[in-house]
Amino acid sequence: MTRRRWIADEVSGNHATLTGSHADHLTRVLRARVGQEFDIVADSSVRRGTIASIADGRVEFDLGEEVESGGTAAQLVLLLAIFKFDRMEWAIEKCTELGVERIVPVIARRTDSHLAASSAKRVERWRRITAQASEQSRRTTLPEVDEPSKLRDAINLPASLKIVLAESEKHTRLADIFSSGTGDKILLAIGPEGGWTGEELQLFQKEGWNSASLGPTILRAETAAIAATAITMAELNRWSCTQGEKS
């Protein structure tokens, strides 16, 4: 039986701790008891953890041997233009499950001004969502969630491959971009409701980004984010396996 995985709030040597609501969920909802075993993510490695003690808002583990965690060495950074928060939260959750390394919320030209003004207050909630999704999907690390930034500030982040999804792209599909490889870090930009403006797409082009589409249909922003992340992660894993076979 697969053990439930938790990401430790505190780590010290061969001991780890869950605290606050994190611990309360384990004890009150899952009714965990002393002696039970779980997989514990401690300092980016996964180790077998045995519950040593339970107190109000605190569960302490003794850590044992390391557990094989798998994963790909390549990184996917998602530049996600801010859109309606309920739908954006769903996209953040699912993209975390799929394996994104970092999420950069971007204030685009077509981002609603009210959402842009409120976005900084949502960052901690987005980080909680990624933490919960990381544990559910048995990740070994939490994705970073940046403070919201304007497109001009985010567009120059370093990467070996940069891709912007654009409805105006008629020839190149996202999967085609990976025909010659992926590199070790990919930037993938997803536009807001209504898409990127022509001026923004010109900026992407000027900064050396590759333009790609997901096909002829027009997708909601959250659907595009999830679909594009799934395709990209599949390609990253495929190329990672190919390189492993060659080495």
CA distance 222 to 229: 11
Minimum mean pLDDT among 20-24, 94-98, 174-178: which range?
20-24
Model pLDDT, residue 202: 96
Domain with CATH 3.40.1280.10 in the chain: 75-246
Architecture of domain 5-66: Beta Barrel (2.40)
Domain with CATH 2.40.240.20 in the chain: 5-66
Give tens-digit pLDDT for 84-124.
999 999 999 999 999 999 999 999 999 999 999 999 999 99
Model pLDDT, residue 190: 97
Minimum mean pLDDT among 17-21, 91-95, 150-154, 198-202: which range?
17-21
Q: Which helix (H) or strand (E) segment is 124 a member of?
A: helix 123-136
Give tens-digit pLDDT for 71-86.
555 689 999 999 999 9
> Hey, what CATH topology would domain 75-246 get?
Alpha/beta knot (3.40.1280)
Model pLDDT, residue 247: 46
Sign (positive/negative) of CA torsion 212, 216, 220, 224? Answer: negative
Q: Which helix (H) or strand (E) segment is 182 a member of?
A: none
3-state secondary structure of 5: strand
